[in-house]
Chains A and B, each alone.
Chain A
Amino acid sequence: NAGVTQTPKFQVLKTGQSMTLQCAQDMNHNSMYWYRQDPGMGLRLIYYSASEGTTDKGEVPNGYNVSRLNKREFSLRLESAAPSQTSVYFCASMRTGTHEQFFGPGTRLTVL
C-alpha cells in the first residue's frame, strides 16, 4: 500500500496563477483533510471531507477550493495564488471510528 500520496512535491507559482494539489489514498478511508503548515504555527486545517460527495471548511479556507472526486481522491485548488499561500500543504485521511489520521509527504509551495 502506498498510503497517502501527494503531487507535486514542490511547486513555484507567480502571484495570480492557479494550480491544483492532488491527493490520493489507497486505504479505503472515508474522511480526508487538507492542512497547511507554516513556521511557528503548527498545522492548520483548510478543508475536510467526511465522505465522498461532502466537503466542509476548516480553520483557514479563504483562497482555496476543494473537490472530493471519489473516495480515493481529494484535491485542493488555488484559483489565484498569493504570497501568503506560500506554505507546506499536507493531505491526510482517516478511517471512520479509528480517529487516526494518516498523512502524506507534503507539497512545498512557493508563491512569488
Chain B
Amino acid sequence: AQSVTQPDIHITVSEGASLELRCNYSYGATPYLFWYVQSPGQGLQLLLKYFSGDTLVQGIKGFEAEFKRSQSSFNLRKPSVHWSDAAEYFCAVGEGGATNKLIFGTGTLLAVQP
C-alpha cells in the first residue's frame, strides 16, 4: 500500500541554522512528490514538487528537496531558517494522472528559536 512516513513529529531549530525534514515513501510506480507548508489556522501551501528529471528541486521561500530513489526519500532542506518558517510541514505522494490523489504524511511541526 502507498504510504508516506515523516519520522519527526516535532523539530526545534535556532534561527539561522540549517534545516532538514525527513520524508520516506512507499509507492509502486514512479511517484509524484510534494512538500506543503501549513501556518497556524491556515490552509496548505505548496512549497515544491518533484515529477521527474533533476532530483534536486527548488521551491519557494528558499526551500529545496532531493529525491533519492534508492532510499525512497524526499527530504526537505533549507540552509538558514527564519522565524517565519515556523509551521507544520507535510510531505505527500501522488499517483499523477487526471486525479492525482494525494497521500499525506503525518506532518512535522517546526519551531524556530530566536
Contact = CB atoms under 8 A, between A and B. Distances in A.
A103 B43 contact: yes
Grouping DSSP codes into helix (H, G, I), strand (E, B) and loop, the A interface class, with mixed when no group exceeds half, is strand
Looking at B32, B34, B46, B100, which has the most chain A CB atoms within 10 Å of its CB? B100
Nearest to A105: B43
Contacts of A33: 101-102
Interface residues of A, number: 27
A42 B106 contact: yes
Contacts of B99: 31, 48, 50, 56
A42 B44 contact: no
A104 B105 CA distance: 19
Interface stretch (A12-20, A61-69, A71-79, A92-100): A92-100
Contacts of A96: 98
Interface in B66-114: 90, 92, 94, 96, 98-107
Interface of B: 4, 9, 32, 34, 36, 42-46, 49, 51, 90, 92, 94, 96, 98-107
